[in-house]
Amino acid sequence: MKKIILTLAALAVAPAAFAQVEIGLKVSPSISYLRTDSPSNTSFQSEKSKFSFGGGIFMDYFFGENYAFNTGLFLTGKGGTISYQEPIIGAAVPRTTQKIAMQYLEIPATIKLFTNEIAPGTRVYFQVGGSVAFPVSTRINGDKFYTDAYNSNTQTDASKHVFAVDANLIGGLGVEYQLGKSTKVLTGISYHHGLIDLDRYFEKNRGFSDVNIKNSVFALDLGLKF
């Protein structure tokens, strides 16, 4: 019985022995685009990607020598250009194009898996997990308000066109290099796969059916740990 208690105590204390918190800053230039899906009568399509520049603060909480929980707070740019067909029967109507630009406050919750050193002070990491994000700014065709020529020229706030929360799956990899006793630099790439349909305009205000618009982001992650 005494041996069992000692074993359980050792297992409980083991994570604390590895516990270490590293805090840093990260900037992430990125390319984003919008994935679309709809019936053929509206035929939504993704047309162009969008370049964005984001960044913020992050934390790696190590619960093992090569394992860390990663979170933080980031300002992230998303969006892209889409086009769709107005469902007007018997009329030759050109496709309508919208350039949608959004900024989100994003909170990741991921796991980082580190290799042993592949060179002095250098380790490769793999990252997987998810995030939740909240839009703080939205522009359509560069403006905060959108006037719909096919809806009696009705003007709407661009922020009302997108859902109030986004959720993403995140996958990435990179390299971390030790500069000094507590200073590290990292560079990596990550993909953020949006899970939530952000459209809150076409179905609600235009009566379109089964329109789905979701975010996708490829980011270059450049960071500095202190």
Instruction: Quote the CA–CA distance of 59 and 51 in Å, as a whole number.
Output: 26
Residue 203, pLDDT above cutoff 90 = yes
Q: What is the pLDDT of residue 80?
A: 98
Q: Taking 90 as the threshold, does the pLDDT of residue 167 lie above it?
A: yes
Q: Is the pLDDT of residue 192 over 90?
A: yes
Please tell me the predicted confidence (pLDDT) of residue 104: 98
Domains and CATH numbers, the chain: 20-225 (2.40.160.20)
Q: Round to whole Å and give the CA distance between 226 and 23.
A: 6
Structure pTM? 0.87
pLDDT of residue 8: 39
pLDDT at 13 over 80: no
Answer yes or no: is pLDDT of 15 > 90: no
Dihedral, CA atoms, 193, 38, 79, 112, nearest 10 degrees?
0
How confident is residue 194, by pLDDT bands cut at 50, 70 and 90?
very high
CA distance 74 to 83: 29
Task: Identify the DSSP state of 91.
Answer: S
Q: 132 and 107 in contact (C-beta within 8 Å)?
A: yes
Question: 17-39 pLDDT, tens per residue?
Answer: 456 999 999 999 999 999 999 99
Percent pLDDT > 70 in the chain is: 91
Cβ(105)–Cβ(136) under 8 Å? yes
Residue 9 DSSP symbol: H
Bigger pLDDT: 75 vs 181: 75
- CB crowding 119-133: b at 16 or more within 10 Å, else e: eeeebbbebebbbeb
C-alpha atoms less than 13 angstroms from C-alpha of 86 in its C-beta half-sphere:
15
Average pLDDT, the chain: 91
